[in-house]
With several copies, the nearest count.
Chain A
């Protein structure tokens, strides 16, 4: 119902709208990804690295002071504790193993907040592979710590200078690189976007999140299903991971949180589901922000990781069908929620993640609701932004 079909679509969304130059690459991946993921040696290596290298399982933490404040039972899924500080590495570990099995020697990636770039540079260092990361010029400036990390890890960071000089443009550059290097290069896409099979493959690698939530909740609450799962949505990978095992169980309500920027109708927003229309972006039919004329518009969010005019096809489908509720959070609301979590629970969240934590003014929960929020990343990369914003 809510998962991908065998043609690579979620309902009417998805597919692989790619230039012929990419066909051999994408087709090779499409034909092999499920087979490779099912190999025992792949599973073993993936699980082992997630455990010993990434530090999984990430805890499911009952946030007492936050729960008290909002009078409901809030669990935080601590992806911020993963190696490199976000959920992104679940996917890059999976894809680097995939790339190795496909015989690739060179890795490219796009990045917005830099978390995916760092996660990619990290696994490339781990495997001794060449790594090129494309990053919008604006994002290079606003996520400087992550740029420094990528360099330390031996990756080359190339600026995307066109368009809004953010995630969308970095993705364009990465795709151009891939077109130019079709044989030896694997493109590690960082979210559940791009042509089929990327959205499905990335979702499957991230699905470890909801798999763990299930048994962790069972341990803590005596049942494996929460009442709500909440996650922010840039491309949608952390949400896909947190929702995955609950997609077909409609007792579990799903909440996707988008960046409203300076306000949904301010002209500076990244609230794709509300502002977007169906179309094609980066190889996938989905919802995207565009002009009447079909030109992709430049989104805006204070958070580099949510500053993307599209959304993964799974989420377009969840929106269209009403399976997930979509809430938009402004810059100001997110920043305030980020500070609140820091001071109530001692956890500084990524600004992306802070959007998820700001829903309590938009949505009331019952006292005995179990609400799981995917704490997709830590805020170390965002300190300067927080400091500047709050004049700390």
Chain B
């Protein structure tokens, strides 16, 4: 059974952390992952940096640019991760844009993920329909879960469709906005969280975008299975490097 599915069965709210691989320094990847696990993080999203990350806000975009300057490439990342399963057991998801995967070859990319022990992918610019028509079989062949997104604007029919083809969790974008844009949740979001919870989807939901501290984590996970933190963690890395990851995670979980 895929590590993601296993993790989702745990009777707790899940904390998922995103970071851009190769940032702050090219070879921080493994140590960040190990640190995050050690401090109680449940799922890790490893960002494969892209030159034109159009669904990301300025913080993640800047870390991506920096990572690329540091020399990060698809191959470098795979090499850094090749022994990761010797030390890390929580689910690992690679989050990246579609073009680098396409250039690598989608099948090769999936195979390499499988070999390493990556559990899933999040590809914001691979639309559900294209995935369903062309790539689902390949992902499944390599035991990879494709994490699909919904937003407050996603229609009920489309949510149901996305739920129907999802096999892990649904990435529930808290508000229609690029990462790192908002701080704190308002009434609108709370209603949206409730609306989705009431749909009783087959797949659990993990909330992303706009989670930066204990308060927003609690709000987001009041009805959802977990939450993902990206920009806030990148900012922490920018300020503190890889050292005080424990403090950051503790401040979220309290």
Q: Do chains A and B touch in the complex (CB under 8 A)?
A: yes
Q: Which residue of B lies closest to A296 (CB)?
A: B51
The interface bits of chain B over 67-109 (1 if a CB of A lies within 8 angstroms of the residue's CB, else 0) are 0100001110000000000000000000001111111100000
Question: Which of B15-23, B173-181, B230-238 forms part of the interface with chain A?
Answer: B173-181
Q: A18-B127, A20-B173 are in contact. Are A172 and B155 (CB under 8 A)?
A: no
Closest chain A CB from B59 CB (angstroms): 12
For chain A, the bracket of interface size reads 35 or more
Contacts of A18 in B (CB 8 A): 125, 127
Number of A-B contacts (CB under 8 A): 111
Q: Which residue of B lies closest to A195 (CB)?
A: B127
From B54, B57, B68, contact of A19 by CB (8 A): B54
- Residue A152, interface by CB 8 Å: no
**How many angstroms from the CA of A168 to the CA of B50 in the assembled complex?**
14
Question: Which of A64-72, A125-133, A287-295 forms part of the interface with chain B?
Answer: A287-295
**How many angstroms from the CA of A86 to the CA of B41 in the assembled complex?**
55
Contact B102 A20 (CB under 8 A): no
- Residue A154, interface by CB 8 Å: no
The interface bits of chain B over 97-140 (1 if a CB of A lies within 8 angstroms of the residue's CB, else 0) are 11111111000000000000000000011111010000000000
**How many angstroms from the CA of A172 to the CA of B124 in the assembled complex?**
14
- Residue A15, interface by CB 8 Å: yes
- Residue A180, interface by CB 8 Å: yes
In the complex, which residues 162-183 of chain B have their Cβ closer than 8 Å to any Cβ of chain A? 173, 176-178, 181
Q: A280-B102, A290-B99 are in contact. Are A163 and B51 (CB under 8 A)?
A: yes
Contact B100 A21 (CB under 8 A): no
- Residue B55, interface by CB 8 Å: yes
From A17, A180, A277, contact of B103 by CB (8 A): A277
Contact B153 A295 (CB under 8 A): no
Closest chain B CB from A77 CB (angstroms): 33
Contact A295 B148 (CB under 8 A): no
**How many angstroms from the CA of A19 to the CA of B57 in the assembled complex?**
14
Closest chain A CB from B49 CB (angstroms): 8
- Residue A138, interface by CB 8 Å: no
Contact A281 B176 (CB under 8 A): no
- Residue A320, interface by CB 8 Å: no
Contact B153 A175 (CB under 8 A): no
Contact B178 A176 (CB under 8 A): yes
Known contacts A179-B178, A279-B99, then 7 further A-B pairs from the complex at CB < 8 Å, ordered by chain A residue: A17-B130, A172-B53, A179-B54, A182-B153, A293-B100, A293-B104, A294-B50
Chain B positions within 8 Å of A, measured between CB atoms, are: 50-55, 57, 61-62, 65, 68, 73-75, 97-104, 124-128, 130, 148-151, 153-155, 158, 173, 176-178, 181
The 7 closest A-B pairs by CB, nearest first: A294-B103, A294-B100, A20-B149, A295-B51, A182-B176, A19-B124, A24-B153
